[in-house]
Amino acid sequence: MNQNQLSNDDKWDVVILGGGIAGLTASIYLAKEGKTVLLVEKGSKLGGRGISNNVGGAQLNLGAHALYTNTLEILNEVGVNISGKTPKLSGSFVFGNKMEELKAIEVFNLFLGNHLKWKEKMEFLRFYRHIQKMSLEQLNEVSLEKFLNETIFNKKVIELILALVRVSTFTNNPELVSARVAISQLRSSKVLYVNNGWQSIVDDLVTNAIKHGVTIQKNLIISNIKGSYPNIEITTKDGNCFSTNCLLSTINPQNLVKIVENQCSESFIKKCSEFIPVRAACLDLVMNGLPNPKINFALGIENPWYFSNHSTVAKLSDKPGEIVVHVMKYLDSVNETEPLEDELELEGFLDYIQPGWRNFVVSRRFLPKLTVSNAIKRPLNNQDLKPNYEEVGIDGIYVAGDWVGNTEILLNASLISAKNATNYINQKFALQYI
């Protein structure tokens, strides 16, 4: 199976770069079709951003992870058994720009009280009914900001919608993100908090990859790739060489460009150079309770803040009474912020909604600039509408990841692109027998 010394004489049907969820998923699909598959991971752990860290018996994801239910079909196909529950639609919206002006309004009371005017309530409800029925195709070439400015009259309604978009896309750049992508996420917003963290997903994928005969090599750094189908030669940093018929890359696309000796297509290089990552500042907490246990979720409206007690519906610790809480700031991908200021801002947010929270902390971790996704999905133009599973421009080299595809994002983009890439690889092999 696993961690064998690679030989210069080794020839694989498919080599997969990257041992994250996309790479593991693709490896299972290919191995089930009888392909000899080598999965290469440069680090010591598999799972990429899907790993969870065990902190004193609690499973701590890398920032807040919610599993959208539109990913379940593919995960089930590769043998992942999801255990988790949907969080309740309750909590508070936090209005106000400055700390001294903050005001928390319960979600339920937002439309019953007087915080929103009658016209604002009606406009918000009309908007939600409208997006459930509208064709998303008309939004392909429009940014979210442009769409909302042309659709919504009241500023407070726009701010409320932007907050919901942030929590469903992690994106805090409405002027950049595709309206189609953002509205699609709002339409399919059912999520699960996963028991035992996302590490349980990674563990299932690894188990099934091994069961189907995938060879996994960790701590292996690739320095050079040359050739094309059916003879792609791969050189490692320590000088070893092996070859493959096809290669599927799930690593950061800029890193792929650096190690491919052949000239990638101009369109691929250009696209990679224009990627703007989606990032978040994350304060992850293991706590022995909350000062105000009635508030388990809060979302900033004018400020891009998120707070959630994921232990309300998911089992994340073996210790009774211990909970896992995530606090985040959705970062502006264009304008840089100072990590220390972001951390203090999140602490101030917690001070408001959970005064005295520091007395309940068992362990804390701050991730100042966590990369949530390799690229903001931006509005399309006609030349963007192309099959990006093979746009590297080299016969036999394919790509998958959260940055691939025009309309999907986050894990859904990774899974769909992984499955699509394996379909084209299988077709490639089938053609040689015709």
pLDDT digits (tens, 9 = 90+) for 394-421: 999 999 999 998 889 999 999 999 999 9
268 vs 23: which has the higher pLDDT: 23
pTM of the prediction? 0.94
pLDDT tens sequence across 173-226: 999 999 999 999 998 768 999 999 999 999 999 999 999 999 999 999 999 999
- The answer to whether 24 touches 45, Cβ cutoff 8 Å, is no
**In the chain, pLDDT over 70 holds for what percent of residues?**
95
CA–CA distances in Å: residue 368 to residues 282, 371, 413: 6, 10, 24
All domains of the chain in start order, with CATH:
11-50+198-275+377-431 (3.50.50.60), 52-107+191-196+276-373 (3.90.660), 118-189 (no CATH)
Between β-strands 278-287 and 191-194, what pairing exists: parallel, antiparallel or unpaired? unpaired
The residue written with tokens 């951390």 in the block is: 343
Query: Which pLDDT score, from 0 to 100, does residue 1 have?
Result: 42
